[in-house]
A and B are shown apart, each in its own frame.
Chain A
Amino acid sequence: MLKNYTVQNVLNNSSDVILFISEEGDIIWANKLGLELFESETIAFTDTMLEDDIPEFEQLLTKIKQPKNTNELFSCRHQLESGITISLKWSLGWDSDKRYIICLAAGGTKSIVEEKLRYHYIFQKDPSPKIKYDSKTLKIIDLNDAAISVYGYSKEEFLDMTVKDIFVEDSVFDFLKGQRGLSEKHFPYHLGVFTHHHKDGTNLIMDVSGGMSSSIEESMMLYCVDITESHKTLQFERLERRIMEQAMEIAPDLNKILENYVLGLEQIFPDMKASILSVKDNKIYNLACPNLPQIYKQAIEGATIGPKGGSCGTAAFLNKRVIVSDISTDPLWEDYKALALPVGLAACWSQPIFNSEKNVIATFANYYATPRKPTHKELLFFERSSSLVSIILENYRNSMAIRSRNQLYKYVHQATNDAIYDYDFINDNIKWGQSFQRRFGYPISNDIYSLERWKKIVHPEDLTLVFDSLNLFLNNSSENRWTAQYRLKKADSTYVFVEAMALAVRDSEGSVTRIIGVLTDISEKLAYVKTVEEQNTRLREIAWDQSHSVRVPVARLMGLIDLIKNGNIPMAEKEDLLTDVLDSAQEVDKVIKCISLKTNSHKETEK
């Protein structure tokens, strides 16, 4: 085409596009940049143009061949193979000898093209969705490959939509409000996190920024980052934290916590319904399944676990996870599918929950409305949810046990009149039970109560004996129990007799670390014992006195009778002795009356 090698070389390496076009409009030669741009020498030049621009060019083809009219200027838009559109200003010249048109794209075409291509690749091949829309009509006018991949709509479907259509209803208002100021933003401006529609009906969580589009005026660009998975993970972790906080409360409401957890999971995974069943005596019971159909819950309540017990009954029976991806065909659901399928339960994955003794105490299950196998990610969420349920149940069991023990401790403190104490030997601090105040009048506080403070309320005369005994006990590593009796000063400065009984907790070396014991007020007991002993002495004296008093006349009587009966004595003497008999009998009577009188007087004293 060009015989002059130097000229050809100059044209070939020009930074402008140079084409030679036949009278018919076909490209018959292109320099390097031209080839790069249009990728072929043999196509028709009009094939690269947008349709709207072709008529003007065809008019020019006729016009330029007229005499004395060898040069024309022409602007048109070209659709390149890569899909991008560029606007070029052409200078056209007619070579009447060679009969072709020389076309030269003026003004640094190379840099325009390069910039255009760079923009194209940044836009089109960006891994995050980018959606260009008309700022007035909100109609989508362009989008990149990632948008198609993430949202599931085809390009044609997108181009029929407005940008509002990709936002869920609740998000539209916030988006419209935020995007009003975008026309002033030359750089992407963060609009927030929005929920978008996926074509399959699920939701996408998108972190959205927006700004002016650089290529076409009055168009805007949305830069979207799909954070659906990370958002779920974040929500999941937040839910876990919230539930754990509830579970750690002093008196947790187990049913409420589990129900909150299930509801929270269902909010994060809207196409899933969760269920927690308790397992007792080989039967399953609904524990937390707020959104399972009532009729289904009633039907499975109290069902026996077994090798074909649906997902949960089988998982509890086999002690292992059961994934049923299609209830309608799985043999494990043969006996239960008639219950599940009509209420829209098509898949069920179940995980047994064990207590610390490795017994199944519950099952955690996820139900889906369509047949479904878990993805790797879903399985991870499923396993993690099951673990949390297990922790909640175990924690609840433990906290109930602790609560019961605490209640017992509290009631013992309330019920007993003994002052219970817990002496932290290492930190020299005694914690007193409530009865210390009730019994001895000292107020209970959280202040440190040292052994020295205790010494101050022990009677000075008893102090040495008591604490010598205590020290002996502390230093005898084989001894764990200690008792002592002493006088203790009450808050009102009066003294009472107390008995201290203690149990020492020793470390592996035998040193005391803790002493737990009771102080019992034994004043009344001692007084009572003293009274009883005094009464016994008195009663013994009475008994002795009375027995002797009775015996004397009785012995006399018996002697008299023996003499009368066996003494072979004259009648007159017998009659004399009978007088003595009568006197003695009267004395016996007198003594008995006296005993009766004294006994009654003793009873009165007791009262």
Chain B
Amino acid sequence: MSDKVLIIDDDAVIRKILARMLQITGIAKEPINLVDGLEAYNYLISEEKSIKYTLFLDINMPNMNGWQLLERLKSENLLDNKLIYIITSSVDHKDYQKAEANPHITSVITKPVTLAKLKALVTK
């Protein structure tokens, strides 16, 4: 898989669950937890551009939400080498339509995040 796996979510419990599940499923031994889009952006621009990332990105977050982060990364050509999973509890179908229309998003995982859903990613 990627060199680094980022969990970007403002919900600490979700970050905790997802990190543990990623370990159990073998997706990431030590995923990096980031609390919102802004922290993620700052992290990414500080790292080497050549590193491959897998992002588990929440949409609704303070400071910079998921969509804003993607826009920012796109505008700065930072989307290369990045596998992006949207994790969301949104029930707004517009969010799903928007995600489908974005070629940089691999898929949308609707919360709750479960071991079965993550295992399915590995299988793919």
Contacts and interface: CB of A to CB of B under 8 A. Distances in A.
Contacts of B116: 562, 566
Given A547-B91, A563-B17, A556 B115 contact: no
B74 interface: no
B13 A558 contact: no
B2 interface: no
Contacts of B113: 555, 559
B11 A556 contact: yes
Interface residues of B, number: 20
A562 B89 contact: no
Interface string A542-582: 00100110011011111110110011110000000100100
Nearest to B60: A548
Interface residues of A, number: 22
B24 A559 contact: no
A23 B60 CA distance: 171
A583 interface: yes
Interface in A499-550: 544, 547-548
Contacts of B49: none
B21 A556 contact: no
Contacts of B73: none
Contacts of B60: 548
Nearest to B25: A567
B14 A556 contact: yes
A559 B90 contact: no
B115 A584 contact: no
A558 B114 contact: yes
Among A547, A562, A577, max chain B CB count under 10 A is at A562
A559 B114 contact: yes
Contacts of B76: none
Nearest to A565: B115
A569 B20 contact: yes
Nearest to A587: B13
Contact of A563 (B89, B92, B115): B115
A551 B89 contact: yes
B89 A567 contact: no
A567 B115 contact: yes
A247 to B, nearest CB: 76
B16 interface: yes
A558 B21 contact: no
Nearest to B117: A562
A548 B91 contact: yes
B62 interface: no
Given A558-B114, A583-B13, A563 B91 contact: no
Contact of B11 (A552, A554, A567): A552
A556 B91 contact: no
Nearest to A551: B89
A78 to B, nearest CB: 142
Interface string A99-136: 00000000000000000000000000000000000000
A45 B79 CA distance: 170
Contacts of B114: 558-559, 562, 566
B112 interface: yes
A557 B14 CA distance: 9
Among A554, A563, A567, A583, max chain B CB count under 10 A is at A563
Interface string A48-91: 00000000000000000000000000000000000000000000
Contacts of B29: none
Given A548-B89, A548-B90, A584-B13, A555 B112 contact: yes
A558 B112 CA distance: 6
B18 to A, nearest CB: 8
Nearest to A576: B16
B20 A556 contact: no
Interface string B87-108: 0011110000000000000000
Interface in B67-91: 89-91
A120 B11 CA distance: 147
Interface in B1-33: 11, 13-14, 16-18, 20-21, 24
Contacts of B111: 551-552, 555-556, 558-559
Contacts of A569: 20, 24
B16 to A, nearest CB: 7
Interface string B47-62: 0000000000000100
B90 A556 contact: no
Contact of B92 (A544, A558, A568, A580): A544
Given A559-B14, A560-B17, A562-B114, A552 B89 contact: yes
Interface string B30-43: 00000000000000
Contact of A567 (B13, B24, B92, B112): B24
Contacts of A547: 91
Given A548-B91, A567-B115, A556 B24 contact: no
A556 to B, nearest CB: 5
Given A548-B60, A569-B20, A580-B13, A559 B91 contact: no
Contact of B115 (A544, A548, A566, A580): A566
Given A548-B60, A580-B13, A562 B20 contact: no
B114 to A, nearest CB: 4
B22 to A, nearest CB: 11
B92 A559 contact: no
A551 B112 CA distance: 9
A563 B20 CA distance: 8
A15 B13 CA distance: 167
A557 B111 CA distance: 10
Contacts of A555: 14, 89, 111-113
Contacts of A559: 13-14, 17-18, 21, 111-114
21 contacts: A548-B60, A551-B90, A555-B14, A555-B89, A555-B111, A555-B113, A556-B11, A556-B17, A558-B111, A558-B112, A559-B111, A559-B113, A559-B114, A560-B13, A562-B114, A563-B17, A563-B21, A566-B116, A567-B24, A567-B115, A569-B24
Given A560-B13, A577-B17, 6 more contacts: A551-B90, A556-B17, A558-B114, A559-B14, A567-B20, A580-B16
Question: Nearest 5 A-B pairs (CB), nearest first?
Answer: A555-B111, A558-B112, A559-B112, A555-B112, A551-B89
